[in-house]
């Protein structure tokens, strides 16, 4: 579904990501873990064509590394960035409408809207409310819901639990993992324990390189991960 080979990414002359290879398979939720500044966001942005410098990115058998971001979005990769990039002066409904920009998604707008409202009932209750007046958790749900309105084939999510109360963060990550059969997910997270519980596979990034990778379940047993990231001996 997604294959990344020896990716390099960065900003202008600043290289942040070096020699990163990864895969996301159908039905998977794959997580990028690592400390602040490790390059998780930069990596996700590179897949959208925003920070790419070198390396191969193959999505559904097609090389996409030279495509501009809007073409990549139209192929079916959707990204939910930290900060959520909602339109605060527009209603919840209008934000969802904007999300359905792919022609395929527009044709099935009503159907998708009702699916998204089933996933996030609170958004239906707040349909006419301005996005800027929602709570942090509701805004995060709206950002994910808006991405889903584009009928994506792959969903990239940057730190969905950031700034949320722990219970809400857990709920949101569970909800994402329930979506993976329909749309595979690559997410960046800082909540190590929760990620290892819910993700299928994990890549640990440090200073822009993958330092550890494997099934989440194996990592939970890994002494190095337990000591360095979970503080468990």
Chain positions contacting ligand ATP, by CB under 6 A? 11, 14, 16, 34, 36-42, 188
Least spacing, CB of residue 93 vs ligand ATP, in Å: 30
Least spacing, CB of residue 164 vs ligand ATP, in Å: 15
Q: What is the spatial distance between Cα 188 and Cα 56, in angstroms, rounded to a whole number?
A: 20
Q: What is the spatial distance between Cα 9 and Cα 171, in angstroms, rounded to a whole number?
A: 32
Hey, what are 121's tokens?
């009932």
Burial letters 93-108, b for 16+ CB under 10 A, else e: bebbbebbebeebeee
Do residues 92 and 123 touch, judged by C-beta distance below 8 A? yes
Nearer to ligand ATP, 97 or 163 (CB): 163
Nearer to ligand ATP, 40 or 180 (CB): 40
Least spacing, CB of residue 94 vs ligand ATP, in Å: 28
Nearer to ligand ATP, 19 or 127 (CB): 19
Least spacing, CB of residue 137 vs ligand ATP, in Å: 19
Least spacing, CB of residue 49 vs ligand ATP, in Å: 15
End-to-end CA separation in angstroms for the chain:
37
Q: CA angle at residue 173 from 61 to 164, to 5 degrees?
A: 130
Nearer to ligand ATP, 34 or 76 (CB): 34
Nearer to ligand ATP, 48 or 100 (CB): 48
Q: CA angle at residue 27 from 25 to 33, to 5 degrees?
A: 65
Residue 186: count of CB within 10 angstroms of its CB: 27
């Amino acid at each position: 579904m997604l294959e990344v080979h020896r990716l390099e990414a960065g900003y202008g002359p600043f290289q942040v990501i070096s020699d990163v290879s990864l895969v996301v398979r159908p039905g998977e939720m794959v997580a990028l873990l690592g400390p602040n500044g490790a390059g998780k966001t930069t990596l996700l942005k590179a897949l959208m064509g925003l920070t790419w410098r070198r390396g191969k990115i193959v999505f559904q058998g097609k090389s996409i590394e030279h495509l501009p971001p809007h073409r990549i979005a139209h192929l079916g990769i959707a990204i939910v960035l930290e900060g959520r990039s909602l339109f605060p002066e527009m209603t919840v409904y209008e934000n969802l409408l904007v999300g359905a920009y792919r022609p395929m998604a527009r044709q099935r707008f009503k159907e998708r809207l009702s699916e998204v409202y089933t996933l996030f009932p609170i958004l239906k209750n707040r349909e006419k409310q301005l996005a800027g007046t929602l709570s942090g958790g509701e805004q995060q749900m709206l950002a994910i819901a808006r991405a889903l309105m584009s009928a994506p084939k792959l969903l990239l999510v940057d730190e969905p639990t950031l700034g949320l109360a722990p219970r809400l963060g857990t709920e949101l990550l569970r909800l994402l993992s329930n979506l993976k059969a329909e749309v595979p997910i690559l997410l960046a997270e800082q909540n190590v324990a929760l990620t290892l519980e819910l993700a299928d596979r994990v890549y640990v990034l440090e200073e822009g390189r993958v330092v550890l990778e494997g099934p989440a379940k194996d990592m939970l047993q890994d002494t190095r991960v337990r000591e360095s990231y979970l503080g468990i001996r």
